[in-house]
């Protein structure tokens, strides 16, 4: 089974997320969605998500193309969740440039082949989470 992993805040699922999940799932057989804990979101974005981690986890469990939903690492940059699940592919959103850069630094430390793929944007001027209130 080829596992694919995606990362995000997923603070209100929208059509952009659904397009992201569909494109990522096409890269393998099993899609794992990793949801950023509230304190990590606050650190990265300077504000808490609109909805708490429990709601965000539950909301993703009902999404087509998402096979498993897990909470992300409690500490940035440890990549423990990646080490635990050992995906073949990490699919990143078109706007997750910093995440990609950090993950690339860790590739040499993983003892399996991990491919990083960047997904295409789906109407980014309409569906980017930072535009939605």
Per-residue pLDDT of 57-111, as tens digits, reads 999 999 999 999 999 999 998 999 999 999 999 999 999 999 999 999 999 999 9
Look at the chain and report how many structural domains it folds into: 1
Report the share of the chain in percent with pLDDT over 70. Answer: 92
Q: How confident is the model at residue 133 (pLDDT cuts 50, 70, 90)?
A: very low
Which residue range is the domain that position 83 belongs to? 3-131
Query: Among 30, 29, 27, 31, which Cα is nearest to 8's?
Result: 31
Query: Which pLDDT band holds residue 43 (cuts at 50, 70, 90)?
Result: very high
Q: What is the CATH number of the domain that holds 103?
A: 3.40.50.620
In this prediction, residue 122 has a pLDDT band, given cuts at 50, 70 and 90, of confident
- The DSSP string of 60-82 is HHTSTT--EEEE--SSTT--HHH
């Amino acid at each position: 089974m080829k596992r694919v992993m995606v990362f995000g805040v997923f603070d209100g699922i929208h059509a952009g997320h659904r397009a992201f999940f569909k494109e990522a799932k096409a890269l393998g057989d099993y899609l794992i969605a990793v949801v950023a804990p509230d304190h990590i979101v606050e650190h990265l974005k300077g504000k808490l998500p609109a909805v708490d981690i429990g709601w965000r986890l539950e909301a993703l469990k009902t999404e087509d193309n998402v096979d498993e939903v897990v909470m992300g690492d409690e500490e940035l940059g440890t990549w423990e969740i990646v080490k635990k699940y050992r995906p073949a592919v990490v699919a990143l959103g078109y706007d997750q440039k910093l995440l990609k850069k950090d993950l690339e630094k860790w590739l040499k430390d993983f003892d399996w082949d991990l491919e990083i793929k960047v997904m295409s944007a789906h109407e980014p001027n309409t569906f980017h989470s930072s535009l939605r209130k």
